[in-house]
Amino acid sequence: MAAIKPITTYKGKIVPLFNDNIDTDQIIP
């Protein structure tokens, strides 16, 4: 996994990610 970032692009959208352990399945677009 990448390092912890304040924001990360996901499916063309920018979503806040403060926990690098979050799975993409847990991200609601």
Q: How many domains does the chain have?
A: 1
Q: What is the pLDDT of residue 17?
A: 60
Alpha carbons within 13 angstroms on the beta-carbon side of residue 21 total: 0
pLDDT digits (tens, 9 = 90+) for 1-29: 555 555 666 666 666 665 555 565 655 55
SS in 3 state form for 1-29? CCCCCCEEEECCEEEECCCCCCCHHHCCC
Q: What is the pLDDT of residue 21?
A: 56
For residue 22, give its domain range: 1-29
